[in-house]
Amino acid sequence: MTQFRLSPVFIAVGVALAMPVRAQSLVELYESARSYDASFKSAQSQYEATLARAEQARAGIYPTANLSAGISRSNLDSSLAASNRSFGGQTATISAAQPLYRPANVASYEQGKKQIEVAQAQLKSADQDLVIRVSQAYFDVLGSQDSLTFVKAQKAAVSEQLASAKRNFEVGTSTITDSREAQARFDLVVAQEIAAENDLRIKKIALEQLVGKSGAAPKVLAAPVTLPVLSPADVGAWVGKSEEEHPGVKQSQLALDVAQLETRKAEAGHKPTLDLTGSYAIANNNGTSTSSLNSRTNVATIGLAFNLPLFAGFATQNRIKETLALEDKARTDLESAKRTVAQGTRTAFFGVLSGMGQVKALEAAEASSQSALDANKLGYQVGVRINIDVLNAQSQLFQTKRDLAKARYDVLVGSLKLRQANGTLTSDDLQGINAMLIK
């Protein structure tokens, strides 16, 4: 009987030939998702809105100017006057003010600058989430493709074993049990093939919906697959980086800064304010109620406006107490964010290490399963093994191949999730995976 061995190169070539002519790389699909994904575009719009809102706080330290104008017409009808008379007037005033000392406005301006940094951290977090979602969907499709390829290969192998069992039964060298066992295994594989085809269809739909491309076809990994080394190999280095780079920690730190500035604003309620003011008014009258003479008046004014709060019903004191409590809350939230990010980073780090160990173990298991299948086939030919032994060895081999492919994809996605966990993930990290794809 001819021995069946499915090499990684055969798998990669077979999947590549089955794909459309124009397959897309991970970076290409990510770039497509950036311009299509609704969640990311929503985050971009929120970022622009936050920038505009932050700039509004700048108005408190800039001068203000106003222009007002009016026109009126009056009709005088008095029993004391010998005749009726109409008169009117036009007025126009331009005024301006420049804050000289307003500590609350300065604190609001500083808060606005902090809000810009918060918006940047939020957009970075949304971009990292998009990288993970695209990568996960990309490798989900590849995993489904591999499962379908392995199921089809197992179906071919079981079909060969079924034909062999039937031939052996016809010549009287085996029992009907071998044929029935092979037929049962063949029917099971057909059912698995149908399920694998449906799973691949669903995974492709999910990827296409994410990237906005119909007929999205991810490129497969080039064989032989060599996973990148985890660097640095110290979990402490990854955790230490998270406190500096993670968008969530940054947002919590900025929230504490904003809370401290809010306390400064509350304390400014006890402080005086000083503004420079100026105005220029023009009044043109066409008579008055007592005179028929026309008149024109121009008035220019410049001065200082000083205000000192004396008593506000204890509102300022209680506002300060409130902001101090919120400041403590923000400080506690920051500590909680650091602990959560550190825990997530450790979990992701050891998850990648475990995945790498699984890949090595499954690579050894694949070689062992292939040897076991070859030995069972040879034993079946010489009569020391039965058909079910060969079928079980085939199932074990293809299950190991599926597990190995999935483990490799999990390590690649896990390495990206590790960088997301400690906040250092960027779209440039996709280039390393992109280099592992077939050209």
3-state secondary structure 61-117: HCCEEEEEEEEEEEEECCCCCCCCEEEEEEEEEEEEEEEEECHHHHHHHHHHHHHHH
Rounded-to-integer distance, Cα 29 and Cα 292, Å = 82
Task: Specify the higher pLDDT residue, 174 or 122.
Answer: 122
Residue 334, pLDDT above cutoff 80 = yes
Rounded-to-integer distance, Cα 377 and Cα 77, Å = 124
126, 50 Cβ separation under 8 angstroms: no
pLDDT mean over 111-129: 94
Both structure tokens of 242: 């998270």
Determine phi and psi for 25, rounding to 5 degrees. Answer: -85, 170
Closest Cα partner for 4 from 187, 184, 150, 147? 150
pLDDT tens-digit readout, 267-301: 999 999 999 999 999 999 887 766 677 888 999 99
Which stretches within 172-268 are classed as H helix? 176-211, 235-245, 247-267
Rounded-to-integer distance, Cα 20 and Cα 222, Å = 17
CA atoms within 13 A on the CB side of 81: 12
Q: Sheet containing 294-307: give its strands across.
A: 64-76, 85-101, 273-286, 294-307
Rounded-to-integer distance, Cα 166 and Cα 160, Å = 10
pLDDT mean over 306-315: 92
- Which superfamily, per CATH, for 8-434? Outer membrane efflux proteins (OEP) (1.20.1600.10)
pLDDT mean over 205-216: 92
pLDDT of residue 81: 55
Residue 371, pLDDT above cutoff 90 = yes
pLDDT tens-digit readout, 127-150: 999 999 999 999 999 999 999 999
Helix (H, G, I), strand (E, B) or coil at 403: helix
Domain boundaries, the chain: 8-434
- Burial level of 82, CB count in 10 A (0-12/13-18/19+)? exposed
User: Which amino acid, one-letter code, is at 163?
Assistant: A
